[in-house]
Structure 1
């Protein structure tokens, strides 16, 4: 008997054990038929004569020709029932039979006779800030047989699934771990699942299969998962993916970034480091440099760093291991150079996690052309935006029209875009930076930023001013788009060579009853442009101390003086603004 294993489609044939599996379930195929199939598989693609089959399977018997045909018919029937798309055994007239499968694979490593209970790797570092997520996912597993952890690139889906696998194993569950990262064909997906399910010979005690990186072939995986669950009643599957499988019975668990918000005062950095994101930063920074003195770090700069990273575990780990960890100002300057500057220094990291650019790019490569074009254009927005604003700013030649909402929904499903309301959305800061990098790569930066500036500085601002005679109401509405207004203003004045557009918007804004911190931003822009301050803004520029009690003045300092990047990063600084700044700004009025 052959000391190897044959895999094809949903089947795994173990000749040494005389067993055929389909989707991990043992098939009822007689001993003689199994030996015939093994002989044909061992000579894959070649014709095996009737005489050779009889000599191998019935070495000491006289066999009627019809007897062999009966076994061939039973084999064909079973294979066709499990895989109706393929005809695997071909009759060659007057010669014999030929076995041929498009996705045939042979493994010379024989199967162990006993099922392997646990192949989930052990975690080498603690899971930080995910206690609630662990309990929630375990509760989902108790309610359904298919649970999918869905989240953005680098948010920690695989790490959470690994921890849950360890927990379930300690509770006595049978666990198998498979990684679909390199699966790019339906045959490859079926082969990986069949191998995992066959190896465990699922019994009444059941099996929990953890399928990581299902987004690599999400469509094919959805079908294979559904088939496996239908054929194996005691099977449970925990999947990780950047988008849902949308299989029957799927429970979706949306994994959010780690929380980084916290209250702290100058000199009390422990408050920041006690947040989940801060705790991960502390642990990874200490692992990279055990001599780092956290008490000497500037709390304001650390808060700015954590706000930029927005609780993304991969981004936090990359930043914490950077050489500039003791100088947060230098680290922020480094990160301003783009997502590729967030480098994962772990040599054994997955290829898709070598840096944040690669991690996000892994998802972008799976977008179709309209999705990718829209994603890049969304990077121009500095804060939360609505679908109607996207319609105004998107390129006319894109012809989104009635397809805009489905495109936005698709980006949300693929964890590249966050939906904050019925028709409002936002990009995370790092994803927004990458989207702007896509605009640069496509040569569309100037055109997209010009449409953005014209919309917010002319149409949006004009509509707000004309909508009411109540100054407080106008001010409140201006503050809801303040981040995009200031970004558009800086582009018009310093990058778009459209000073007239910028000065017109400045003139309208200077006549509004804006908070002092807003006027100080405008004053800074005017000083930069002309070396002087226009009269309506002079009082704020000359008396910054008068604003120091304003609750939002910290943001002004960050914008005008504390930024390590200076004037060259004015647009980037606006893009780093808090996505919920409108709410904070209104509370500061």
Structure 2
């Protein structure tokens, strides 16, 4: 590392500063700078590792090795350091904070590096090097690491794909080595050679050696035997055998000669150390960061520097930084590709440059005229690499280019022509990795491969045999079907966040295969099989748009052979669910779910029937058909007796329990929900049709609601908190949204508005992200409800009115009664009490007709309060409140009974009626917990005033 290299001289220079390590002295223009000891320690760490991101933990471990300090301590000393350096004054930037990662020392540094060994020649001795590049963006760490590797091993090859920056890095190291080698550094570009046999001759000629034999290698070795020199051989890939032979001879026979070579593949000779050069680091996708943080990434820095050099002006705004970041990601951080794209900004503008890359990755944009011909366009660079491949390597490269992202060795074998043996595929793939045409990385102990976007675009653009192309697409589709059957278990995708990331990556291939299958020259039967196997995964990952599109496409393509098959059953179920979640409970959703259930019944597939009864129950609950929902729940209970499986039994308990909550049978609902919630595993069967959500969490939030209504506030809160925590941990969008929408209602009922508001914000964000339109309407309605509660009926009523209209249109009636009660209260506040009573009257008639009588206590209580506010006869008010109490008792809803009893007791106290205390106390004494709840405290205050 750099710290080791500067230790010999003990001085680092940057800007107008000098940092003397041995004396622990910082000077500015030769004048000492006052700086604290800890701040100086931090500066030493940063200055010794310029351009590298040092994490806060690493800095604290180094500066405070024997004690534990808080991050605030580091921030304090970092602030003092910045003041001492004048960082930020007049735009000066020396230290940059990289969000979520640490700190980066960004000012160029100079150090007095002690030569490894000096000979008599002066440092100004002539050398054969191209000019020094002024900036090595993002490669400072690589320069130091490679310099150390070269000094220690004497023979290093830089490998990497075309355009990644191998020559630039080699030149940077060569210039760094001028002083240690006293100017004796020679640079030879072999890219112009066509004849491999000319490699030793060209090297001899550059060294000024007269060649008098057919093989000049012996003369080279003799000349170099007592020389201390660094030989840099650039672009060796097309003459790799010849370079390997001559460098082996030189390395073995000349102990003071150092060799630095660049190639797209290793030379694979004894003594060689390989330095793999990766693309520049790009800003991560989806990360929330400032423009400054995003543009601090090396790839973005290079883009900005090259764009500025062409005269383009890019403002440092968040939008611009987002476009630059997207361009860099699209180009995989490949330096040449970034430079070429940046060169278009002055003419096209930043946004259009990004759009053109999205539409078509341009391989023909010209670069600098001074660059070698093979590097003036990406096309030329890739032509150069492609021509160096063997016929078999070209075939396999064309095959694996069908993958849109990462792929495995099995995937490569799966898409290769059947007549090519697996061993030959493996060998060709290994060679492609070695030649930097395919990238590889280890993930969870397995190797995964991918083509850089530029390489893939190049291969796809190559003209080939149309029949071979169709056969490749068919093999790719069959591979995707097999992958889904063998690996893509929905249960895993639901519960493990890390596994979901892998599925999301592989689903890009599933999408491209589906596009081909249902295209003009595709294979529709294969597309139907593929869509049916992808459907549970689309649901499991809440990719509802994909599910709707491809299941609908496959259903329309069904023929007689597929009609009534398990594939159609899966497609109809997934299509119905995706419609219900994204477009509402319309006829398309009902018909698809019923069709799927009919197929399951015909095939006597009990598990699939149970899986389907859950979304069908939800469908009927959503449209307010509670009687049908209860019947479906009873049907699920009967079916569960035929399946000896705890998860399936729990699913049946969950279905019937949720249905019973709406009928007001809280005791029955609680028994069913507790039976469902006792099973800690997700209520699903990966072998059957997937629900699209985790029924375990759904049962949990309904159990919390039931406990609350029964008067067990503490247990309800604990159950709700646990369920929400579990849903957040799974981070499954639909499961979390379902849990949140009910939890918001529960926390509002418990008068914890702060938590309800926080959950509402998160619920809205997820509904927007996944286009869950009915949930977005519910989110707006909740905001209107909270506005009315806070006394802002003027803004709350329009929100509620609009949202309720959308919910009715989507046939999403689960929460409309709750929102209607809030609307009535809001309408009454802004002056129309009679209109509010009309609204409540219609709602009461609606729940009576639908059977959703669980809302009756709240509706009657709200009506009683409006009658009281409107000056109606006290007997009418008492009748409403008494009826609310009766409904509450019948349902076992102690909390609802307490709320209505408080209102009735207050009214009777004002009228001087006796027995009020006894009436209220009889309800209060039935509570065994939840005494911190505002409603319970209200009852206690009232009891304290009553005689």
Smaller-chain TM-score range?
A: 0.5 to 0.7
- Asked if residue 176 in structure 1 is aligned to residue 186 in structure 2, the reply is yes
SS of match in other structure, 1:461:
helix
Q: Distance in 2 between matches of 1:503 and 1:122?
A: 60
**1:299 shift after superposition:** 4.1
Give the aligned partner of residue 168 of structure 2. 159
Q: Distance between the aligned counterparts of 1:148 and 1:261, measured in 2?
A: 28
Which residue of the other structure, out of 147, 155, 158, is the alignment partner of 1:138?
Answer: 147
Cα pair 2:234 2:263 within 8 Å, conserved: yes
d(CA) in 1 for partners of 2:523 and 2:494? 30
1:537 aligns with 2:578: yes
CA distance in structure 2 between the partners assigned to 1:471 and 1:348 by the alignment = 51
Specify the SS of the correspondent of 2:156. Answer: strand
In the superposition, relative to structure 1, how do residues 408 and 226 fare at CA in structure 2: closer, same or farther (>3 Å)?
same
The answer (yes or no) to whether the contact 2:231–2:258 under 8 Å persists in 1 is: yes
Q: What is the CA–CA distance in structure 1 between the aligned matches of 2:356 and 2:436, rounded to whole Å?
A: 26
Q: CA deviation at 1:190?
A: 1.5
Inter-partner Cα distance in structure 2 for 1:388 and 1:263: 28
Task: Write the distance in 2 (CA, Å) between the matches of 1:419 and 1:128.
Answer: 24
Q: Does 1:284 align with 2:302?
A: no
Q: Secondary structure at the match of 1:420?
A: strand
> Is it true that 1:485 corresponds to 2:701 in the alignment?
no
Structure 2 residue corresponding to 1:502, chosen from 511, 527, 531: 527
Cα offset, 1:242, TM superposition: 0.6
Equivalent in 209, 219, 222 of residue 231 of structure 2: 209
- For the structure 1 residues 505 and 203, does the alpha-carbon distance in structure 2 shift closer, same or farther, using more than 3 Å as the test? closer
Asked if the contact 1:412/1:418 (under 8 Å) is kept, the reply is: yes
Pairing partner for 1:240 from 259, 262, 267? 262
* 1:185 aligned partner: 195
Q: From 451, 463, 477, give the equivalent of 2:486.
A: 463
Aligned counterpart, 1:341: 363
CA separation in 2, counterparts of 1:555 and 1:307? Answer: 26
Q: Give the CA deviation at 1:402.
A: 1.8
Map of 1:425 onto structure 2: 449
CA distance in 1, matches of 2:530, 2:263: 45
Local SS of the residue matching 2:178: helix
Structure-2 change in CA distance of 1:144 and 1:495 (3 Å): farther
Q: Partners of 2:346 and 2:417 in 1: how far apart? A: 40
Deviation per residue, 1:115-139 (Å, 9 max, x gap): 9731101134411000111011101
Residue 503 of structure 1 and its aligned partner are, at CA, apart by 3.7
In structure 2, which of residues 320, 327, 336 is the aligned counterpart of residue 314 of structure 1?
A: 336
> Does 2:410 align with 1:369?
no
Alpha-carbon separation, structure 2, partners of 1:311 and 1:185: 33
Q: Does 1:381 align with 2:403?
A: yes
Q: Give the 5 Å matches for 1:35-434.
A: 117-171=126-180, 172-198=182-208, 202=224, 204=226, 206-262=228-284, 268-295=290-317, 297-323=319-345, 327-336=349-358, 340-397=362-419, 399-421=420-442, 422-434=446-458
- Kindly indicate whether residue 486 of structure 2 is the aligned counterpart of residue 445 of structure 1: no
CA separation of 1:395 and 1:266: change in aligned 2, threshold 3 A: same
Q: Sort the Cα spacing of 1:479 and 1:338 in 2 relative to 1 into closer, same or farther, 3 A.
A: closer
Gap change, CA 1:302 and 1:194, over 3 Å in 2: same
Question: Offset of 1:254 from its aligned partner?
Answer: 0.5
Tell me the secondary structure at the aligned position of residue 396 of structure 1.
coil
- Structure-2 separation of matches of 1:358 and 1:309: 16
Query: TM-score, length-normalised on structure 1?
Result: 0.67
Larger radius of gyration: 2
Residue 765 of structure 2 corresponds to 549
Question: 1:459 & 1:377 partners in 2: Cα distance?
Answer: 17
2:519 aligns to what SS in structure 1? helix
- Alignment deviations for residues 296-354 of structure 1 (CA, whole Å, 9 cap, x no partner): 74444333222111110000000101147764442234235655535233112111112
CA distance in 2, matches of 1:524, 1:170: 65
Q: Which protein, 1 or 2, shows the higher relative CO under an 8 Å CA cutoff with sep ≥ 6? A: 1
The root-mean-square deviation of aligned C-alpha atoms, in Å, is 3.6
Q: Give the helix-richer structure, 1 or 2.
A: 2
C-alpha distance in 1, partners of 2:408/2:390?
A: 22
Is the contact between residue 339 and residue 356 of structure 1 (CA under 8 Å) also seen in structure 2?
no
Q: Distance in 2 between matches of 1:263 and 1:464?
A: 26
User: Equivalent residue of 1:169, what SS?
Assistant: coil
User: Using the alignment, how far apart are the partners of 2:298 and 2:405 within structure 1?
Assistant: 24
SS in 2 for 1:257: coil
Deviation at 1:277?
Answer: 0.5
1:196, 1:555 → 2: CA distance?
A: 66
Aligned in 2, Cα 1:342/1:551: closer, same or farther, shift over 3 Å? Answer: farther
Cα pair distance change 1:538/1:161, threshold 3 Å: same
* C-alpha separation in 1, matches of 2:224 and 2:771: 59
CA contact (8 A) 2:149 2:156 kept: yes
Contact 1:264 1:271 in 2 (8 A): no
Aligned match of 1:521? 546
1:435 Cα shift? 2.3
Query: Could you tell me the TM-score, scaled by structure 2's length?
Result: 0.43
Relative to structure 1, the CA distance from residue 478 to residue 258 in structure 2 (aligned partners, 3 Å threshold; closer, same or farther) is closer
> Aligned partners of 1:305 and 1:181: how far apart in 2?
29
Give per-residue Cα distances to partners, 1:75-104, cap 9 Å, x unaligned: xxxxxxxxxxxxxxxxxxxxxxxxxxxxxx
Contact 1:489–1:502 (Cα < 8 Å) also in 2: yes
| Contact persistence 1:292–1:326 (CA under 8 A) | no
The 8 Å contact of residues 490 and 537 in structure 2, kept in 1 or not, is answered as no
Ranges in structure 2 where 5+ consecutive residues have no aligned partner: 1-123, 210-219, 558-571, 585-732, 738-762, 773-947
- Distance between the aligned counterparts of 2:197 and 2:771, measured in 1? 54
Number of residue-to-residue matches in the alignment: 439
Q: What is the CA deviation profile of residues 514-539 of structure 1, one whole-angstrom value per residue up to 9, with x for unaligned ones? A: 35652223334567897999422113
- Give yes or no for contact 1:376–1:439 (8 Å, CA) kept in 2: no
State the 1:153 CA deviation.
0.6
The counterpart of 1:436, out of the listed 460, 475, 481, is: 460
Residues in 1 aligned to 2:771 and 2:351: alpha-carbon distance in whole angstroms? 16
The Cα shift of 1:555 comes to 12
Contact 2:307/2:313 (<8 A) preserved? no
Partner-residue secondary structure (3-state), 2:131: coil
Q: Which runs of 5+ in 1 are unaligned?
A: 1-114, 557-589
Does structure 2 retain, via aligned residues, the 8 Å contact 1:335–1:341? Answer: no
Matched residues in 2 for 1:552 and 1:280: separation? 35
